[in-house]
Chains A and B, each alone.
Chain A
Amino acid sequence: MPDPLFFNDLLKAFIQHVNLTLIALGVALVPAFLISLLISRRSTLAELVITGFGLLYTLPSLAMLAFMVIVFGLGQISAIVAMVLYAQFILIRHFVLGLQSIDAPTLEAARAMGFTFWQRLLWVEAPLALPVWLSGIRLAALSTVSIAVIAAWINAGGLGTLIFEGLSQNNLPKIWGASLLIVLLSLWLQSTLEGFEAWALAKAEGGVV
């Protein structure tokens, strides 16, 4: 039966995986948000940008990772850059969608009231767009966790390492353990973010009724 060293490995890989995901998401959020602010009111530009990132998204992850390796070498940097690029598509799309979903009278009233751009964003647009934004973040997080598994192939660490090791060494506990943790992590992300989304939706619709 698996000995303490095994659990040690599992835990270490788990932490690596979480770190990778957190960093990638953190880095991805800012440019995605800023880009969305720039393009949300210009529909042709928005379509162009979103389609562009959408094309990136269709690239198979291993191919993208390999390309990153050429530029940045093996390791975490390449993995994170790849994950950030993939996340852009999901994040930008949802950020823009959220902003565009605000109805015209509300927007007009907000403009006419005398808000500055950032005040309007903070007081009016963000609370109303938040549910869609959060769902985008949730989807991007799940997607990033997935890609991080593959990233183990380029020495980025994470739970994928154990899966590849398990496959190469025909070691079932490693495969099972790592897979289980990936599933648990994904479930946790889903449940947690979903709840915040539901709350944000209620707030946007007019208080928690």
Chain B
Amino acid sequence: MPSIQLDNVSKSFAGRVVLQPTNLEIAAGEFVTILGGSGSGKTTLLKLINRLHQPDTGVIRLAGDDLSQKPVTQTRLNMGYVIQQSGLFKHMTVAENIEIVPRLLKWSKSAIHQRVDEMLELVGLEPKLYRERYPLQLSGGQQQRVGLARALAGNPPVLLMDEPFGAVDPIVRQRLQDEMLVLQAQLGKTIVFVTHDVQEAFKLGDRVVMMQDGSIHQYDTPNEIMTHPADGFVESLVEAGGSTTTKNTETRISRLSTWRSNHPPFLKSFFTKPRRV
């Protein structure tokens, strides 16, 4: 799993600075959430990583390599991308959607077929039932799951998520968050997760990036942020999250350990067996 590094990266649109010159280091295998309001620059930061935007200044590194020196397609094929509206291709079946990156990576037909089943199981959708369905026949929550399955299908070392659970109702949202934690427990991918929900950010992130007006106010573990907020902005956010923030973190830690003890790490085999035949 690669690390992600932003070196003095900034971005402006139409003369307006959206992202101040920023330094950010995400460790390999780390789950980092980026928290901020609208206009904070969090989405822009995310999109710089898979080069949907080009930085005005600075360098973005993946495992130490300058991304601007590599072909864009290659970078993107190795980064899963999940967005709020899922962006599923409505003219393709669920299976066909999920198959895309494996096919682009030229996997064998049998490997691809198997992979689709595995991914659907992973996100909690029974393959036989859902393979041949079309996105418009699914509920919002189901669409998000398929979106996630699609993003993970090619076994990318990096996963980028832009408010993926924003359009989903709270109950489903909770479940999806829990499943994300479970997933990360086995997969250990480098994940960058953008959200404006304080509780979500603290529940999911190993470390949290607190952003406002294009700059990072604090970047630390949830615990540290809660106990030692860097400034008034961070403080107000923590308070807004309420006691549930604390509770969420505790829940998270306990949930993870419970899960770990109950489930031997077999799912990891999905992601370590060589796929190219």
Chain A residues near B (Cβ < 8 Å): 105-106, 108-116, 119, 123-124, 127-128, 203-207, 209
Contact = CB atoms under 8 A, between A and B. Distances in A.
B177 interface: no
B101 interface: yes
Most A CB contacts (10 A, CB to CB) among B75, B78, B90 go to B90
Given A113-B81, A115-B73, A106 B87 contact: yes
Ranked nearest first, the 7 interchain pairs of A and B with the lowest CB-CB distance are: A109-B87, A114-B77, A206-B134, A114-B76, A112-B81, A105-B85, A105-B87
B182 interface: no
A179 B186 CA distance: 74
A111 B160 CA distance: 14
Contacts of B100: 113, 123
B104 interface: yes
A105 B104 contact: no
A205 B85 contact: no
Contacts, number: 70
Interface string B46-83: 00001010000000000000000000011111110101
A41 to B, nearest CB: 14
B87 A206 contact: no
Given A119-B104, A205-B91, A109 B81 contact: yes
Contacts of A128: 89-91
A207 B95 CA distance: 13
B249 interface: no
A205 B76 contact: no
A109 B91 CA distance: 14
B136 A206 contact: yes
A110 B73 contact: no
A204 B83 CA distance: 21
B86 interface: yes
B221 interface: no
A112 B90 contact: no
Contact of B52 (A111, A119, A123, A207): A111
B87 A114 contact: no
A176 to B, nearest CB: 46
A205 B104 contact: no
A114 B104 contact: yes
B81 A205 contact: no
A108 B81 CA distance: 10
Contacts of A116: 73
Most B CB contacts (10 A, CB to CB) among A113, A115, A119, A124 go to A113
